[in-house]
Amino acid sequence: MPYCSECGVEVDRSTRTCPLCSTPIYHATEPPSGEQGYAVSHEIEDMLARRPPGYARRLAVQILTVVFLTPLLVAAVADWLVSGQLSWSLYVGVSMAALWVYSVVPILLYRRLWAILGVCVTMTGLLMWSVDVLDPRTSWFWEVGLPVMAVIVVVTAAVAVLSVLSRTRGANIAGFILIGIAVLCGAIDLISKRYMQLVGPPFTWSLIVAAAVGPVALFLLYYHYALSSRINLRKRLHL
C-alpha cells in the first residue's frame, strides 16, 4: 500500500490525493512532479526484507569471480591464438587465482581473522610454488620461498600474540612490527646468501635495516610502557 509523502498516512492504490492533507499521491508507475518523490510500497519493503542472509556477500563473491575470470580467459585465448599453446597466460591464471582468493576469503570469513591469515598464507605459498614450477630453468621455492614463508608466518604470529597479550595497545604495536621487519630482513638475507652460495658474513644489508628500525622500535616500546606505568601510578595514587 502506498503512503502519503507529506503526512505518512496509508492510502488506497486508487487514491490520487491524500484524504488528510490533500497532497498528490504518486504511485510506482507514475513519474513524480516538482519536489514530490515516489511513495514506498509495502511490496518493495517485503522484497528487501525477504533477502536471504549473506545475500550481499554472495553477490560480492559473484562479481569478484567475474572480474578475475575475465582477464584470465582473455589472456588464455590471446596466448592460444598467438602461440598455439598456453605459455605466459599460465602466469596470469595463477595470479588471478591468488587475487581471487585474497579478495573472496575475507568476505566469506570476515569474522575469522586467523582463518583468513591461514588461507592467505597458504595461497601465497601455492603461488610461489606455481611460479617456480612454471619456470623449469630455475628451482628456488624449496630452498628460498618455503623458508621465507615459514619465517613470515612465525614473525606474524609472534607480533599477533604479543599484541593480544598486551594490556594496553598503542605505540608498542608499531614497535613489535618494526622488530618483526628487522627479523624478517635478517632471515631473508641469510637464506638468500646460502642459496646463492656467497662467501662472506651471513648478514650484510639486513644489518642496515636493523640499525635503522631498531632504535625506533625500542623508543616506541619505551615510550609506550613508560607512559602506561605513569598512568597506572597516577591511578593508584589518585593523582
Q: Which three cell numbers stand for residue 142?
A: 624449496
Enter the pTM of the model: 0.61
Give φ, ψ of 98 to 5 degrees: -65, -45
- Cα–Cα distance list, 110 to 7, 66, 98, 104, 169 (Å): 42, 21, 18, 10, 23
For residue 77, give Cα distances in angstroms to 67, 93, 95: 16, 12, 16
188-206 per-position pLDDT tens digit: 999 999 888 888 888 999 9
Instruction: With cut-offs at 50, 70 and 90, classify the pLDDT of residue 69.
Output: very high
Q: Which of 139, 150, 144, 131 is nearest to 192 (CA)?
A: 144
Lowest mean pLDDT among 27-36, 89-98, 204-213, 228-237: 27-36
**Region 95-99 average pLDDT:** 90
Output the nine-digit C-alpha cell for 16.
Answer: 490520487
Cα separation, 121 vs 128, whole angstroms: 11
> What pairs with residue 17 in β-bridges?
24
pLDDT for 132-158, tens place per residue? 898 888 788 888 999 999 998 899 889
Q: Where are the domains of the chain?
A: 1-50, 53-139, 147-239
